[in-house]
Amino acid sequence: MLAGGLLAGFSVLSLLTYGYLAWDAAGDPESAGATAKLEEGPEAEPAPTPPHLIFILADDQGFRDVGYHGSEIRTPTLDKLAAEGVKLENYYVQPMCTPSRSQFITGRYQIHTGLQHSVIRPTQPNCLPLDNVTLPQKLKEAGYSTHMVGKWHLGFYRKECMPTQRGFDTFFGSLLGSGDYYTHYKCDSPRMCGYDLYENDNAAWDHDNGMYSTQMYTQRVQQILASHNPRKPIFLYIAYQAVHSPLQAPGKYYERYRSINNINRRRYAAMLACLDEAINNVTLALKRYGYYNNSIIIYSSDNGGQPTAGGNNWPLRGSKGTYWEGGIRAVGFVHSPLLKNKGCVCKELIHITDWFPTLIMLAEGQIDEDTELDGYDVWETISEGRRSPRMDILHNIDPIYTKAKNGSWAAGFGLWNTAIQSAIRVNHWKLLTGNPGYSDWVPPQSFSNAGPSRWHNERVSWTAGKTVWLFNITADPYERVDLSSKYPEVVKQLLRRLSQFNKTAVPVRYPPKDPRSNPNFNGGVWGPWFKENEKKKKPSKNKADTKQNKNKNKKKPDRRKGHSLRCFAGG
């Protein structure tokens, strides 16, 4: 894999040179003088710089919810960038926030980081394991300036878990999985509410001016680009909060979608329209400040859409939180002047873990030989149309998810306990076991005033006791024809592959709630609370001392800027 990655790096060398010179001619105010100097002789020619890497991650965008997939929601920026780049139409992520983000930033499956169950909750003493090397750390080693704007959701219970401690030079955004788009408050439960907007390692009270997060994050990206030297490589990870619930958007974006009767769908459409405009503004900033010609823009959703929150994955089956295609097949594309083939559709198998080695190789960085990655360098696949080095994807093995009642070792031919939730893709075949989650198809017309109506959904009543499904995803991407009984030998082969993967799994990290996480103990702010050297205090000898110590620990929430700690809708 490394050898292929090095070849990929060399293959774009001439393109990188072209991109740099193009910026000199078009973006530099002193371009004429610079060009003259280049013509004086080889000694005056600057060395080509690695490309600027811009990774944009949308939150909960449904597979159908982009113009070029037939949506009624207009996304002119995404459509144009994708049409001029490479559309990824066999591209997979994970079904929820934390899993996708952890795999992007480490290049490793969940079973290899211990994050194979659910997401990291705000009150859990948990984060991306500190012994995992991250993408921004490797890019910093390669000489990149690294910046993150947006949603982290990889844990924060101790300072070492924060984005600035995991490789980012700067961080501006939220630590949790969701929150109010204007006030940036989040309630995890009653009396467990706090502020969640950070500037590096501190609460960003100075930015608490009621600005909509999509626009606020875009403004920060523009500031970063304006202040950075485009002759030096930059990695920008822009993880927008949109279009995750709560469903909120500035009023002007609702105007064009008055015809959508369903209120959740209408709000969702307004949020997506604002996001599309934001990405246009980011692209314009890349051009204005001299980055564009030597940049690679990658766009991805972190998981499928949630129909009850306005998202739509039609014609795919299932939704966010499931291992049906609607939960894990994502909107994705690459846009760059450095692509050899543009205006193409890539149908080769690509997974979110692949960005880790791909971007490091593009950055001319190094991946240690003992680094155990699950991702592949897929730049030549995307840029040149070559075959993908990836032949399979472990979608996940979750040993603590609710077991399927009728699952058994017998149903798994003695190779696998089919009560366990798992999913795997090998070539054309996809196997699911256990409880894969909500399995309906939700057509666009199902969005009535009352929300996605089950009367309009396509339901399938499975035979009682079913815990194994097999599909040929190439021939049947909508997962309508279960082939498990027709091809038992294929089922056995995939069960064996699951068993092999499971032997490499590390224990699940999903600790119970820690009461010390309450923002009321931290000035009304969600943030690190765990201290390594913290010792349990010995109980006081008399009741008066005990009462005094309790009173000391009762800190009032920070109510600066007139905020109240009421609960806001979130997901």
Catalytically active residues are: 97, 153
C-alpha angle 105-108-114 in degrees, rounded to nearest 5: 100
E strand or H helix at 186, and its extent? strand 185-189
Three-state secondary-structure class, residue 235 = strand
Runs of H (alpha helix) within 480-558? 488-502, 543-553
Question: Which phi and psi angles does 259 have, rounded to 5°?
Answer: -75, -15
Sign of CA dihedral 78, 84, 86, 90: positive
Whose tokens are 């070539």? That residue is 427
Six-digit token pair at 11? 């293959």
| Cα-to-chain-centroid distance, residue 345 | 22
CB atoms under 10 Å from CB of 466, counted, come to 15
Helix, strand, coil percentages, rounded to 5, for the chain: 35, 15, 50
Contact 120, 153 (CB under 8 A): yes
Strands 185-189, 234-239: pairing kind: unpaired
Nearest to 372 by CA among 386, 356, 384: 356
Query: What distance in Å separates the CA atoms of residue 476 and residue 520, rounded to the nearest whole number?
Result: 51
Helix (H) or strand (E) holding 276: helix 263-288
Beta strands in 113-184 (DSSP E): 145-151, 170-174
SS3 label, residue 259: coil
Cα dihedral 106/107/108/114 (nearest 10)? 20
Q: Please say whether the dihedral angle defined by the alpha carbons of residues 383, 237, 282 and 240, taken in this order, is positive or negative.
A: positive
SS3 125: coil
Contacts for 461 with CB less than 8 Å, ≥ 6 apart? none
Residue with tokens 């490499």: 504
